[in-house]
Amino acid sequence: MSVPLAERIRPKNLDDYLSQQHLLGEQGALRTQLKSGVLPSMILWGPPGTGKTTLATIIATQSGRPFHQLSAVDSGVAAVREVIEKAKKADTLFSTKNPILFIDEIHRFSKSQQDSLLGAVEKGWVTLIGATTENPSFEVIPALLSRSQVYILKSFSKKDLEDLLHRAISVDAILSAIDIELKETEALIQLSGGDARKLLNTLELVVLSEVSEDKKSAKVIITNDLVSQKVQKNTVRYDKTGDQHYDIISAFIKSIRGSDPNAAVYWLARMIEGGEDVKFIARRLLILASEDIGMANPNALLLATSTFQAVAAIGYPEARIILSQCTIYLATSPKSNASYAAIGKAQQLVRQTGDLSIPLSIRNAPTKLMKELGYGQNYQYAHNYEGNFTPHEFMPEEIIGTSLYEPGKNAKESNLKMYLTSLWGNKYKF
């Protein structure tokens, strides 16, 4: 059988299209556009298997427009220009049926390839529909992005996927001829990773592996155990250069920041199973140790530094244990972003005030001329005073008394606040 199940039951119209009701429901943006007859160029952004190609085809069919499809993987500027030239020749003054140019994986186009689309899109020779699994903010050039609407396709819900399974066994010519009972669907859905194409093709693999040529009438009962037997291992959907990469590391960092070691270790496991670079994970732990824990527990940075050195030396699989230990330590540590906030405020202040003059008393005076000009004059050397402190002025005159570091509300920084107040009194608002 040459045509996969996912292709055989590909929806032909919006009513057959499952999911994406925020776009295709009665009040959905795309359905409204189709009804109006005014179709903008657009970028369809969503995970694999959410129906981007199918949707583009349906849009072309229902709008009555010529449809040209290119894949960014194997098409270059020449192929794009050829389609555009055809569209220009077919264009008439009063025609609103300009062709649709669908480019799959448009994020793989280089800047120059994307530039070649601009004129045709701007002049309306073609209506561009680009499909991408990557964030178009990063992967599509600004000029093209500004001329297109971005529509986000969501991962299929569990109900959507179950509905799709039932639809497949009832409408497909091959599967509908087989007595199939969907007793359990959890394994199929888990293996799919939310990818409808993968779900359908896995279903077909399981069913046909149970039905031999001489036993066409045999009943196939789909259970989790049967699916697990037929499909050896689920490959974790994790693109180390794509949105999965950024979304999962974001979930990982937010879980640690939110003091949830269980969620943090889960997202760590997702990255490890997906083959994420061990140094990338360790670098992010290093940053977090200072940004989100900082002075609340200075040892966090020391452990994160040791973790980076250790995992770089030993690599997988043992590095997972060290990463887990560091992750749990950071997640269960008291938190403070005071150091992070302080440098942010300081940089903003520098941008606002420019290069303020350095007080003469704290300037270096290596030459006789500098000393004569007052460099270093009246500097009070802290170690010459009791407690190794004297209330000298270190800030430029224009910003004296400006408070940038505000101790966080945790045990360590509460003690620091008391100490700094004992030194500086009310000069700074701690």
Angle at 388 between CA 379 and CA 422, to 5 degrees: 105
SS (H, E, C) the chain: CCCCHHHHCCCCCHHHCCCCHHHHCCCCHHHHHHHHCCCCCEEEECCCCCCHHHHHHHHHHHHCCCEEEEECCCCCHHHHHHHHHHHHHHCCCCCCCCCEEEEECHHHCCHHHHHHHHHHHHHCCCEEEEEECCCHHHHCCHHHHHCCEEEECCCCCHHHHHHHHHHHHHHCCCHHHCEEEECCCHHHHHHHCCCHHHHHHHHHHHHHHHCCCCCCCCEEEECHHHHHHHCCCCCCCCCCCCHHHHHHHHHHHHHHHCCCHHHHHHHHHHHHHCCCCHHHHHHHHHHHHHHHHHHHCCHHHHHHHHHHHHHHHHCCCCHHHHHHHHHHHHHCCCCCCHHHHHHHHHHHHHHHHCCCCCCHHHCCCCCHHHHHCCCCCCCCCHHHCHHHCCCCCCCCHHHCCCCCCCCCCCHHHHHHHHHHHHHHCCCCCC
- pLDDT the model gives residue 63: 85
Q: According to the model, what pLDDT value does residue 93 have?
A: 43
Phi, psi angles (nearest 5°) of residue 100? -95, 130
Instruction: Give 10-residue mean pLDDT values along the chain (430 residues).
Output: 82 85 86 85 89 91 87 78 77 62 89 87 89 86 91 88 92 89 90 85 88 65 88 58 73 94 94 87 95 96 96 89 96 95 93 88 87 88 91 90 91 91 84
User: Residue 384's pLDDT is what?
Assistant: 92
How many angstroms separate the first and last alpha carbons of the chain?
73
In the chain, what are the domains? 20-152 (3.40.50.300), 158-230 (1.10.8.60), 243-331 (1.20.272.10), 359-424 (no CATH)
Q: Which of 106, 199, 195, 198 is nearest to 155 (CA)?
A: 195
pLDDT for 190? 83
Residue 302 is predicted with a pLDDT of 97
pTM reported for the whole predicted model: 0.60
Structure tokens belonging to residue 153: 């396709």
Locate tokens 């000029």: which residue?
A: 143
Q: How much is the pLDDT for 254? A: 95
**Predicted pLDDT at 75:** 73
